[in-house]
């Protein structure tokens, strides 16, 4: 089973990459702290999250009405709408549009949906010049890599590595200071914007009652991508919708706080159609791609809850497994706990996608931080059960996950296991870096490289923790 080896190798590779380990540690700790501070400061955080969940559930429950409403409102405002069943239809629409309009260069701001359908590769193959303009995405595009984190795609790169890339591609004089690198990137990318014929963006929310799309960002590259070129194409997964403009009063607050700990992101753009007559700037054309790619079916199955996700990234940072292995090891576009749920659904052609739901200790940290309270551990367990039922596992793997098969069918054991797992990860997190995965995931790592037993037994740690608690009270 070569694919399986590939997956294990990615995990192993990640655990041995010391600069990745440092970066992951730095990023996830920072994000966790920022999020906790921002959520903690809210007058009623629990209520706001419950509201966010209710708003998203309402949107999904009425998706069959809200999508046509959104599309009709976009068209009323002079925009075009493309309903795309899959990536192929979306790619074809965009390529044909670009050809018909004589487009040469395209600027993109970060969009998970476009990564899901491998849009860049298709556009480049069709002869267009495509530039990712989010700084992190730009860095990894220069390096020819893929993002390692939803919110911070280039966290695995050190400043020295970035400096080298900029010297090589942008002719920057040697430096390891960050400000000159920022200035270099600003100048280089600014010219790309001014010369681009088309801007492609993602969508954080579609607002049905206003025919608007919402894009949140901190850099301003999405504003430039959607303002400067004469054509704007926005790609939206069909589930990313809210019914009313007023819903943003809840959604934007939980999104920014959960993602980066900000009260609001620096720029939140609400865009409805192309520039109106009398407006001095803005695009002449606006195209909204409504991408299904399996979502309409997922809505009917037992993974429907995953469609509530607003892609904030909080569950990634909170996950002890993600903290240890980073985004690349997951192999798909979506990483971390929610990626382990979504990738087998949205990118089922990835050969080892079915293994991703194993990449969790079921500690429950993801569900605890999720702004829309998705029961991610439950969804992971369902995947495991489905994969076993489908006969996907090799006998050796079966043995490794035998305990999970048991817990899947015995909720009481699962609960107990969840509690223990949560406790275990907290202890490891408190003790600093996670060098090994919690059991039974530690079976992934090659035993010759990693001690098979934790430095202290569970019992020892428990005793120590109890002592600490007593002395601090």
Partner 1 sequence: MSREQILANLRTSLNANRPWLQAEAERMPHEAPPFVLPAQDDVVGQFVAELAKLEGKAYRVASADEALAIIDRLIEETHATSVIGWDLDQIGLPGLPELLAARGITPAKADVRGEGRKARLQELEPIPICLSGAELAIAESGTLLLRHGPGKPRLASLLAPCHIAVIFRRQLVRGLGEALALLAQRYGDEIFGPTSNLTFITGPSRTADIEMTLSLGIHGPPQIHVIVVEG
Judge whether 347 and 333 are in contact, CB under 8 Å.
yes
- Minimum Å gap between C-beta 309 and ligand SF4 is 3
Nearer to ligand SF4, 234 or 256 (CB): 256
- Minimum Å gap between C-beta 241 and ligand SF4 is 15
Nearer to ligand SF4, 163 or 335 (CB): 335
Binding site for ligand SF4 (CB under 6 A): 258, 309-315, 338, 369-372, 374
- Minimum Å gap between C-beta 322 and ligand SF4 is 10
Q: Which of 402, 361, 403 is nearest to 380 (CA)?
A: 361
Kindly compute the dihedral angle of the four CA atoms of residues 174, 177, 179, 181, in this order, to the nearest 10 degrees.
40
Residue 263 site contact among ligand SF4, partner 1, none (CB < 5 to 8 Å, cut-off depends on kind): partner 1
Largest interatomic CA distance in the chain: 72
Give the separation between CA 235 and CA 94, rounded to whole angstroms: 10
Nearer to partner 1, 160 or 449 (CB): 160
Q: Which of 386, 422, 436 is nearest to 414 (CA)?
A: 422
Q: DSSP labels for 227-287?
A: HSSSEEEEEEETT-EES-GGGHHHHHHHHHHHHHS-SS-SEEEEE-SSPPTT-SSS-SEEE
- Minimum Å gap between C-beta 237 and ligand SF4 is 12
Residue 247 site contact among ligand SF4, partner 1, none (CB < 5 to 8 Å, cut-off depends on kind): partner 1
Element (H, E) at 315: helix 314-318
Tell me the CA distances in angstroms from 65 to 206, 249, 352, one per residue in order.
Answer: 13, 22, 36
Element (H, E) at 182: helix 178-195
Torsions phi, psi for 54 (to 5 deg): -65, -40
Element (H, E) at 379: helix 376-389
Count of beta carbons in the 10 Å neighbourhood of residue 338: 25
- Minimum Å gap between C-beta 101 and ligand SF4 is 35
- Minimum Å gap between C-beta 142 and partner 1 is 12
Residue 83 makes CB contacts below 8 A (sequence gap 6+) with 71, 290, 292
- Minimum Å gap between C-beta 447 and partner 1 is 33
- Minimum Å gap between C-beta 409 and partner 1 is 22
Strand-strand pairing, 129-132 and 198-201: unpaired
Residue 313 site contact among ligand SF4, partner 1, none (CB < 5 to 8 Å, cut-off depends on kind): ligand SF4
Residue 96 makes CB contacts below 8 A (sequence gap 6+) with none
């Amino acid at each position: 089973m070569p694919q399986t080896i590939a997956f294990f190798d990615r995990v192993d590779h990640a655990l041995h990459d010391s600069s990745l380990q440092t970066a992951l540690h730095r990023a996830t700790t920072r994000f966790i702290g920022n999020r906790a501070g921002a959520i903690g400061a809210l007058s009623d955080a629990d209520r706001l999250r419950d509201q966010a969940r209710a708003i998203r559930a309402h949107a999904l429950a009425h998706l069959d009405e809200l999508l046509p409403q959104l599309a009709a409102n976009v068209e009323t405002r002079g925009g075009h709408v493309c309903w795309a069943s899959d990536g192929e239809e979306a790619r074809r629409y965009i390529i044909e549009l670009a050809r018909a309009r004589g487009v040469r260069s395209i600027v993109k701001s970060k969009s998970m949906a476009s990564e899901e359908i491998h849009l860049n590769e298709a556009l480049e193959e069709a002869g267009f010049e495509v530039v990712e303009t989010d700084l992190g995405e730009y860095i990894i595009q220069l390096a020819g890599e893929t993002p390692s984190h939803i919110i911070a795609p280039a966290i695995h790169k050190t400043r020295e590595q970035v400096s080298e890339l900029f010297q090589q591609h942008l002719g920057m004089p040697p430096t390891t200071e960050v400000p000159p690198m920022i200035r270099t990137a600003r100048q280089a990318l600014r010219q790309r914007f001014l010369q681009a014929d088309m801007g492609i963006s993602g969508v954080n929310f579609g607002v049905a009652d206003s025919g608007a799309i919402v894009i949140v960002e901190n850099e301003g590259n999405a504003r430039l991508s959607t303002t400067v070129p004469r054509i704007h194409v926005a790609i939206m997964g069909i589930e990313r919708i809210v019914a009313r403009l007023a819903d943003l009063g809840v959604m934007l607050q939980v999104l920014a706080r959960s993602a980066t700990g900000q009260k609001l992101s620096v720029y939140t753009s609400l865009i409805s159609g192309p520039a109106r007559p009398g407006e001095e700037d803005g695009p002449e054309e606006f195209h909204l791609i409504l991408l299904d790619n399996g979502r309409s079916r997922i809505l009917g199955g037992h993974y429907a809850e995953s469609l509530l996700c607003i892609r904030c990234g909080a569950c990634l940072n909170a996950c002890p497994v993600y903290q240890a292995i980073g985004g690349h090891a997951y192999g798909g576009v979506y990483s971390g706990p929610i990626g382990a749920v979504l990738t087998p659904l949205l990118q089922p052609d990835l050969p080892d996608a079915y293994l991703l739901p194993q990449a969790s200790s079921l500690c429950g940290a993801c569900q605890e931080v999720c702004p829309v309270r998705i029961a991610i551990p439950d969804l992971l367990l369902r995947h495991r059960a489905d994969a076993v039922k489908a006969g996907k596992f090799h006998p050796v793997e079966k043995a490794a996950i035998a305990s999970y098969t048991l817990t899947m069918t015995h909720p009481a054991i699962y609960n107990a296991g969840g509690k223990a797992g949560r406790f275990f990860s907290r202890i490891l997190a408190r003790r600093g870096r996670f060098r090994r995965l919690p059991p039974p995931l530690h079976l992934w790592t090659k035993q010759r490289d990693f001690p098979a037993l934790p430095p202290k037994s569970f019992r020892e740690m428990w005793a120590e923790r109890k002592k600490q608690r007593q002395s601090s009270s």
